[in-house]
């Protein structure tokens, strides 16, 4: 069982090493710390996840850091929740299917969808480039 703490409202300069030092200074134990970063800029998004070894340790981390002041803000600490849309309880397992050269499963065909407006889509090209492309194809 995982005991993960969500630690939020962090300044963007906070690193995993900073959090590990704060935990050590308070005699709190963690199995790991992950600061969530923007994939493009690598700047912190302002929150992190701390893996605690036990439920008691998780509660100690939450008690210590929830509403703790840092600069001009109050930190948030609470038990981490599973990501929305990724909770697979109650969902039927995916049936085995054909795989491509990459090993990825082929996607099922998309169902026909009705347009929300109910208006038929204009099939004529909208630009001179699209007209020329339509002639070639």
Q: What pLDDT is stored for residue 109 in this prediction?
A: 47
The overall average pLDDT reported for the chain is 77
Query: What's 125's DSSP letter?
Result: -
How far apart CA 96 and CA 78 sit, in angstroms, is 38
Is the per-residue pLDDT at 13 higher than 90?
yes
**What is the reported pLDDT for 10?**
95
CA-to-CA distance for 32 and 124, rounded, in angstroms?
57
Residue 133: pLDDT band (50, 70, 90) is low
Q: Provide the 8-state DSSP code for 9.
A: S
Picking from 90, 93, 70, the residue whose alpha carbon sits closest to that of residue 82 is 90
- How far apart (Å, rounded) are the C-alpha atoms in residues 64 and 75? 10
Nearest to 35 by CA among 59, 11, 54, 52: 11
Tens digits of residue pLDDT in 22-59: 999 999 999 999 999 999 999 999 999 999 999 999 99
């Amino acid at each position: 069982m995982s005991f993960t703490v969500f630690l939020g409202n962090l300044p963007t300069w906070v690193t995993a090493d900073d959090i590990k030092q704060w935990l050590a200074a308070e005699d709190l134990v963690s199995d790991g710390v992950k600061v969530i970063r923007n994939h493009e800029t690598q700047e912190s998004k302002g929150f992190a996840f701390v893996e605690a070894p036990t439920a008691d340790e998780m509660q100690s981390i939450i008690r210590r850091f929830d509403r703790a002041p840092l600069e001009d803000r109050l930190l948030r600490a609470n038990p981490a929740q599973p990501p929305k849309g990724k909770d697979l309880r109650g969902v039927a397992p995916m049936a085995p299917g054909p795989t491509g050269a990459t090993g990825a499963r082929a996607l099922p065909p998309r169902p026909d969808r009705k347009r929300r407006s109910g208006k038929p889509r204009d099939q004529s090209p909208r630009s001179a480039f699209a007209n020329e492309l339509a002639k070639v194809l």
